[in-house]
Amino acid sequence: MDLPRSFTIRESSHRIINPLTPEKLATLGAAIRLRPGVSVVDLCCGKGEMLATWARDHGVTGTGVDISTVFLSAARERVAELGVADRVTFVHGDASTYVAAQPADVAACIGATWIGQGTAGTVTLLERSVRPGGMLLVGECFWRAEPPGQEAIEGCHARSRDDFETLPGLVRLFDGLGYDLVEMVLADEDSWDRYVAAQWMNVRTWLDAHPDDELAPEFRAELSREPLLYTAYQRRLLGWGVFALKRR
């Protein structure tokens, strides 16, 4: 059980596997008013940067779950580097089936709502691991502007207009699920650039070093295609944010 190799190549230089900069990740931790001893469960934790830095900066404890052995190895190195390995644990497994042994104060899924087949399903998964009165953190894409047609929709890696909500649509969805939206931190164009454009450098660096690898033709095509799709469609049309929710 692991992620395809292409994912780890594409994300090789990233510590944060979503379009949050380190500054925005720090803003999120401050915005939700973390304090020492708060427990956090992070489903699809990637390289564990959120748990690692929040343990260092706010004294939280946490458990991260991910399917990628490569990402988890990087996560364990990171908590050791920051001196918080005694406060953060990582579990290799399917985040869609994980339930915390002890309900946490904060349950998060930042940018991987596919595990619940969408936003609403992911909220349901997170509810299994959060204590009554606790907080959910959901990272999700949304339409910043109305896509002009199917080409633009597919250029944003969506199949249909309905794959994403608008920002007000997400707020209405959370309300319909019985949650108050109590905080949010949104990606901007610069943080999107740092996430997406860095992937192009990662891919090109890997191609230069592995021209005869079986993945080379796929990555060569990707590097010719993705910068144009991003600059033509994604950068203008697609938003992303982390939304802090509390049950009414």
Across residues 182-205, what is the average pLDDT? 97
Whose CA is closest to 7, among 64, 78, 92, 70?
Answer: 70
**What total number of domains does the chain contain?**
1
pLDDT range class, residue 2, cuts 50, 70, 90: confident
User: What is the amino acid identity at position 201?
Assistant: M
Does the pLDDT value for residue 15 go beyond 90? yes
Here the contacts of 202-207 (C-beta below 8 Å, separation 24 or greater) are 202/9, 202/10, 202/11, 202/12, 202/13, 202/14, 203/9, 203/10, 205/12, 206/9, 206/12
Q: What is the CATH number of the domain that holds 9?
A: 3.40.50.150
Render the burial of 191-210: b for 16+ CB within 10 Å, e for the rest. bbbbbbeebeebbeebbeee
Residue 1: what pLDDT?
77
> How many angstroms from the chain centroid is the CA of residue 159?
20
Identify the three-state secondary structure at position 90. strand
Q: Which two tokens stand for residue 124?
A: 């349901």
Residue 13: what pLDDT?
97
What are 32-74's pLDDT values in tens digits? 999 999 999 999 999 999 999 999 999 999 999 999 999 999 9
67: left (phi over 0), alpha (psi -120 to 50) or beta: alpha
User: What is the amino acid identity at position 131?
Assistant: R
- Domain of residue 98 covers 5-247
What are the backbone dihedrals phi and psi of residue 104, each rounded to the nearest 5 degrees, phi first? -95, 165
Identify the three-state secondary structure at position 199. helix
What are 65-115's pLDDT values in tens digits? 999 999 999 999 999 999 999 999 999 999 999 999 999 999 999 999 999
